[in-house]
Amino acid sequence: MVPRRRERRRRPWYRTRAFRLARTAVFAVVLVTAGVRCTGHVAPVAPARAGAAVSDGAPAGPAPGGGADEGDADAAGRAPGKKAAARPTPPRPLPRSPATTLRVPSLGIVASIVPLRLGPDRHLGTPPLDKPKLVGWYAGGPTPGERGAAIAVGHRDTKTGPAVFAGLARVPRGARIEARRADGRTAVYTVDRVRVFDKAGFPDKEVYGPTKRPELRVLTCGGLFRHATGYTSNVVVFAHLTATR
């Protein structure tokens, strides 16, 4: 007797390959659509304005309001609707006129100025040791308020005691330095930073190099004192012109 062939059952429709492919396609469409809707709520970042001024070599920041939702504070912490304070316009450089008096109000310094020149060794001289309260101004460089790096130097101390720049290393950032000119005008500088450089590795270019705006360098001795060689370092105050009167 021949055995009967077992009949093959048909798969349910929900288990067929065609149904699985169709279901996958539907899910993919739903996910893409949902993703587009979510990203659509992100506020676009506004591009920087063309031609926006960049002052003093500082990197330009983001344009006002870029990427901020209405009602939120911006990246600078300002409340919405408030305008950023405008940066003060830098003063115009002054014409040439010799320096006569230097004032550093935060240190109580009011000193007369004498012109200094380079010696035969191409080193800048200093005020006379018997007049420790004088400040020297490099006559071959910019005068107060002129474009470029003006140089003023003075003693820290002498054998008779503290000199004009005994406390120069303590001048705070943001302090004023005022240089009176022979024409009666005054150049007002603001301190940017104070550095102490070892004389063996003194950065001539950083201190004496050309600048695009009126700046000031005030120098005195610093570091350790050795009877054979004197002080090991120099204190240098970096400042830039912020006002004239």
Query: In the numeric block, which tokens belong to residue 173?
Result: 């950032």
pLDDT tens-digit profile of 77-96?
445 555 556 677 888 999 99
Q: What is the pLDDT of residue 38?
A: 31
- 109 forms beta bridges with 104
Q: Is the pLDDT of residue 177 over 50?
A: yes
**Cα angle for residues 229, 230, 235 (degrees, 5° grid):** 130
Of residues 126 and 23, which shows the higher confidence score?
126
CA atoms within 13 A on the CB side of 126: 18
DSSP conformation class of 79:
P
CATH fold label, 99-244: Sortase; Chain: A; (2.40.260)
Q: What is the pLDDT of residue 27?
A: 41
pLDDT tens-digit profile of 204-238?
999 999 999 999 999 999 988 888 888 889 999 99
pLDDT tens-digit profile of 231-245?
889 999 999 999 999
Question: How much is the average pLDDT of 99-117?
Answer: 96
* Sheet strands (E) in 86-213: 99-104, 109-116, 135-138, 148-153, 157-158, 161-162, 176-181, 186-198
Of residues 131 and 38, which shows the higher confidence score?
131
Q: What ranges do the domains of the chain cover?
A: 99-244
Q: Is the pLDDT of residue 74 over 60?
A: no
Q: What is the pLDDT of residue 87?
A: 73
Q: Which of 10-19, 171-180, 220-229 has the highest mean pLDDT?
A: 171-180
Q: Is the pLDDT of residue 173 over 90?
A: yes
pTM listed for this prediction: 0.64
Q: What is the pLDDT of residue 73?
A: 33
pLDDT tens-digit profile of 113-164?
999 998 888 888 889 989 999 999 999 999 999 999 999 999 999 888 999 9
Q: Is the pLDDT of residue 20 over 90?
A: no
Contact residues for 119 (Cβ-Cβ < 8 A; gap 6+): 125
The 3-state DSSP composition of the chain as helix, strand, coil percent (nearest 5) reads: 15, 30, 50
Over the chain, what is the mean pLDDT? 75
